[in-house]
Amino acid sequence: METTRQWNTAEVNLDKKYGPQINGEMVEPVNGYINAVNASTGEVLAQIGRGGKEDIDKAVGAARAAFPAWAETPIEERSMLLNKIADALDENQERLKLIESMDTGRAIHEFDLDYKLAINQFRYFAGAILTHYEGESRPVDNGYLITKKEPLGVCAQIIPWNVPMIMASFKLAPALAAGNTLVLKPAEDACISVLEFGKIISEILPNGVVNMVPGIGDEAGQALIDHPDIDKLAFTGSVPVGRLVGKTAGERLLPVTLELGGKAPHIVFPDVDIDTAVENATLGYTFFNGESCILGTRLLVHDDIYDEFTEKLIERAKQIKIGPPTDRSTRLASLINEKQGEKVLNYFDIAREEGAKILYGGNRVTVPGHEHGYFIEPTIIEAEPNMRIAQEEIFGPAATITRWNNVEEVIKMANDVEYGLAAGIMTENMENAFVVANKLEAGSVWINSYFNFQTGAPFGGYKNSGVGREYSKQALNEYSQLKTIVAAYKRPPLGTFL
Ligand code: NAD
């Protein structure tokens, strides 16, 4: 197992072109290619297929053809194959981390967490599937009742660019474990690591079980959700596209899971040790370059400690090393692209116009040799809870900070937002922690340790943050349907009904 070797960028040896992967083969895309660029240097890393309707047709056809045999594959074998995928991902992780760091611009040290979660997904579902079928079958009067879980069929899966391997594993592992075949559309802004992973998977699974079609959202993505031979839609991304996917699912009566945006409150009680609370809060708003749906970007800090906490938060922000993504000592690196960078900087202007106060940061930073990249300072903004900067998803390394005085008020503030994906609480008092946690409208609540992901813990959103749960046994249900079979030993005697 290779977990310690460090690769350098010249060693990753990328393919020149990454076309759609259909039926176990990489094929030429019908609409040609688009460039995949290094987020911080602008260097062209490779070309990725610009998938279109015809590629999607072929991929869905391959998934449909592979479905009956995969659905009938014994669970012990499916489980073994998922473990093989986990092993292969483990063995290849250092190279894939480096590719992903260049492609997304995120600091390479963060990918240790991404790949730990991704590998765990395959191992978890390899185990979970073995208990998925423990059923509710039972003897009934004059016979026997069987409740069966069956796969749904061909799943359409669409993922975003921010954490490509986490997203791919969250989608692939439960769908495959439950016996589905699939077509995955990775994000056009960062997908090389996922397409490399696709090549690895094609050596392990039967042809057609996993198909990947890269491409642009309103081309390949739209063609995938519109395809008439799809049995399930699974989407992670923004709320507007999530609504579109949900609408399509509604019109066609397809099961759907949606993992959408977030704007998580992180509540700080006055009884905390301020230094460790500041560290946890800083991790909570800066990790993933701030480009994540789960970040604790709305800091709600009790009045009694607000001034000291804020001062220390600013001091901590000043120490964060901004640098090249592939340098292991970097803690904040480049945003994905100019569009995202400008969006974040524009939010800082909006904040100023609204009367919010930028206490620290707010600027783009130049990193020598990486001038193409949008490196943004960690940014702390004193804001009222109803301001746009405190309500909308920024997707950059920025947090608002707001004071509170009583618990009912802070719960209201925390919930007064369209999203409900995650939340954090810091206190020494577990009674306070649980009283507040119970009242927060969020799918995940982390007390005293942000991003405390535990394998098998359901993950998903309240309110506009989504529909359904991943990362847990619940995900197997999202990729299964129930059938009840009732068998009678004897037919009813003549004359029973007539
Ligand atoms: P996005 O919605 O623009 O794109 C996500 C994916 O959808 C991409 O693959 C894109 O190509 C595709 N897409 C775009 N238009 C489409 C269409 N018309 N039909 C089908 N597919 C289409 O989101 P993004 O900018 O890539 O990602 C950022 C968003 O994702 C943020 O809002 C973030 O919060 C959210 N996100 C949520 C989670 C979660 O688990 N809840 C995780 C990561 C990211």
What would the pLDDT profile of 259-314 be if each residue is shown by its tens digit?
Answer: 999 999 999 999 999 999 999 999 999 999 999 999 999 999 999 999 999 999 99
Q: Mean pLDDT throughout 121-135? A: 94
Ligand 1 atom with least separation from CA of 459: 40
pLDDT value at residue 2 = 44
Atom 19 of ligand 1: nearest residue by CA position: 222
Enter the tokens of residue 378.
């960690």
Residues in CB range of 27: below 8 A, 6 or more apart: 19, 20, 21, 55, 58
Residue 153 has pLDDT above 80, yes or no: yes
Residues in CB range of 493: below 8 A, 6 or more apart: none
pLDDT value at residue 3 = 47
Enter the tokens of residue 194.
């996922």
Q: Are 403 and 306 in contact (CB under 8 A)?
A: yes
Instruction: Name the pLDDT band for 410 (thresholds 50, 70, 90).
Output: very high
Q: What is the pLDDT of residues 458-487, one digit of tens each?
A: 999 999 999 999 999 999 999 999 999 999
Residue 117 has pLDDT above 90, yes or no: yes
Q: What is the pLDDT of residues 188-225, one digit of tens each?
A: 999 999 999 999 999 999 999 999 999 999 999 999 99
Is 65 contained in some domain?
A: yes
Q: Is the dihedral of CA 310, 311, 312, 315 positive or negative?
A: positive
> Ligand 1 center to residue 238 CA distance, Å?
4
**Could you give the CA distance from residue 179 to residue 174 in angstroms, rounded to a whole number?**
9
- Judge if 356 and 472 occupy the same domain: no
Q: Is 44 helix (H, G, I), strand (E, B) or coil?
A: strand
Q: Is the CB of residue 244 below 6 angstroms from any atom belonging to ligand 1?
A: yes
Is 455 contained in some domain?
A: no
Q: Is 60 helix (H, G, I), strand (E, B) or coil?
A: helix
Q: Are 64 and 83 in contact (CB under 8 A)?
A: no
- Judge if 140 and 184 occupy the same domain: yes
Q: Are 171 and 256 in contact (CB under 8 A)?
A: no
Atom 13 of ligand 1: nearest residue by CA position: 217
Catalytic residues: 259, 293
Enter the tokens of residue 411.
């719960």
> Ligand 1 center to residue 235 CA distance, Å?
7
Enter the tokens of residue 132.
């998925």
Q: Is 394 helix (H, G, I), strand (E, B) or coil?
A: coil
- Maximal CA-CA distance, the chain: 90
Q: Is 204 helix (H, G, I), strand (E, B) or coil?
A: coil
- Judge if 333 and 256 occupy the same domain: no
- Backbone dihedral angles phi then psi of residue 149, each to the nearest 5 degrees: -100, 125
- Judge if 426 and 387 occupy the same domain: yes
Query: What single-letter DSSP state applies at residue 7?
Result: P
Residue 6 has pLDDT above 70, yes or no: no
Cα Rg, the chain, nearest whole Å: 24
- Judge if 110 and 220 occupy the same domain: yes
- Judge if 225 and 286 occupy the same domain: no
Is 492 contained in some domain?
A: no
- From the CB of residue 303, how many other CB atoms can be counted at a distance below 10 Å? 11
126-140, 145-159, 166-180, 238-252: which has the minimum mean pLDDT? Answer: 126-140
Closest-CA residue to 214 (of 159, 162, 155): 159
Q: Is 475 helix (H, G, I), strand (E, B) or coil?
A: helix
**Could you give the CA distance from residue 414 to residue 314 in angstroms, rounded to a whole number?**
22
Ligand 1 atom with least separation from CA of 187: 9
- Judge if 168 and 76 occupy the same domain: yes
Ligand 1 atom with least separation from CA of 189: 26
Q: Is the CB of residue 194 below 6 angstroms from any atom belonging to ligand 1?
A: no
- Judge if 248 and 279 occupy the same domain: no
- Judge if 415 and 475 occupy the same domain: no
Atom 40 of ligand 1: nearest residue by CA position: 259
Enter the tokens of residue 193.
């690591």
Q: Is the CB of residue 158 below 6 angstroms from any atom belonging to ligand 1?
A: yes
Q: What is the pLDDT of residues 308-361, one digit of tens each?
A: 999 999 999 999 999 999 999 999 999 999 999 999 999 999 999 999 999 999
> Ligand 1 center to residue 318 CA distance, Å?
31
Q: Is the CB of residue 337 below 6 angstroms from any atom belonging to ligand 1?
A: no
Q: Is the CB of residue 161 below 6 angstroms from any atom belonging to ligand 1?
A: yes
pLDDT value at residue 4 = 53
> Ligand 1 center to residue 110 CA distance, Å?
21
> Ligand 1 center to residue 100 CA distance, Å?
17
Is 19 contained in some domain?
A: yes
> Ligand 1 center to residue 416 CA distance, Å?
23
Is 351 contained in some domain?
A: yes
Burial class (CB in 10 A: 0-12, 13-18, 19+), 391: middle
Average per-residue pLDDT in the chain? 96
Ligand 1 atom with least separation from CA of 185: 9
Q: In a mutational test of the pocket of ligand 1, which residue from 162, 165, 244, 338 has the highest number of ligand atoms less than 8 Å from its CB?
A: 162
**Could you give the CA distance from residue 120 to residue 178 in angstroms, rounded to a whole number?**
17
- Judge if 169 and 123 occupy the same domain: yes
Closest-CA residue to 195 (of 100, 118, 268): 100
- Judge if 151 and 300 occupy the same domain: no
Atom 6 of ligand 1: nearest residue by CA position: 160
> Ligand 1 center to residue 468 CA distance, Å?
16
**How many residues in the chain?**
498
Q: What is the CATH number of the domain that holds 269?
A: 3.40.309.10
Provide the edge-to-edge strand list for the sheet that holds 33-37.
Answer: 17-18, 44-49, 33-37
Burial 125-135 (b: 16+ CB within 10 A, else e): bbebbeebeee
Q: Is the CB of residue 385 below 6 angstroms from any atom belonging to ligand 1?
A: no
Query: What single-letter DSSP state applies at residue 105?
Result: -
**Could you give the CA distance from residue 34 to residue 17 in angstroms, rounded to a whole number?**
9
**Could you give the CA distance from residue 200 to residue 91 in angstroms, rounded to a whole number?**
11
Q: Is the CB of residue 164 below 6 angstroms from any atom belonging to ligand 1?
A: no
Q: Is the CB of residue 466 below 6 angstroms from any atom belonging to ligand 1?
A: yes
Enter the tokens of residue 115.
């790949």
Q: Are 133 and 182 in contact (CB under 8 A)?
A: no
Enter the tokens of residue 273.
């040790």
Is 292 contained in some domain?
A: yes
Q: What is the CATH number of the domain that holds 75?
A: 3.40.605.10
**Could you give the CA distance from residue 204 to residue 95 in angstroms, rounded to a whole number?**
19
Instruction: Name the pLDDT band for 1 (thresholds 50, 70, 90).
Output: very low
pTM of this prediction exceeds 0.75 = yes
The count of structural domains within the chain is 2
Is 489 contained in some domain?
A: no
**Could you give the CA distance from residue 29 to residue 216 in angstroms, rounded to a whole number?**
12
Is 459 contained in some domain?
A: no
- 18 sits in which H/E element: strand 17-18
Chain centroid offset of residue 12 CA: 25
Atom 10 of ligand 1: nearest residue by CA position: 217
Domain that holds residue 55: 9-260+465-483
> Ligand 1 center to residue 259 CA distance, Å?
9
Enter the tokens of residue 337.
């692209």
**Could you give the CA distance from residue 347 to residue 358 in angstroms, rounded to a whole number?**
11
Ligand 1 atom with least separation from CA of 261: 34
- Judge if 180 and 280 occupy the same domain: no
Q: Are 105 and 333 in contact (CB under 8 A)?
A: yes
The C-alpha angle with vertex 66 and arms to 65 and 72, in degrees rounded to 5, equals 120
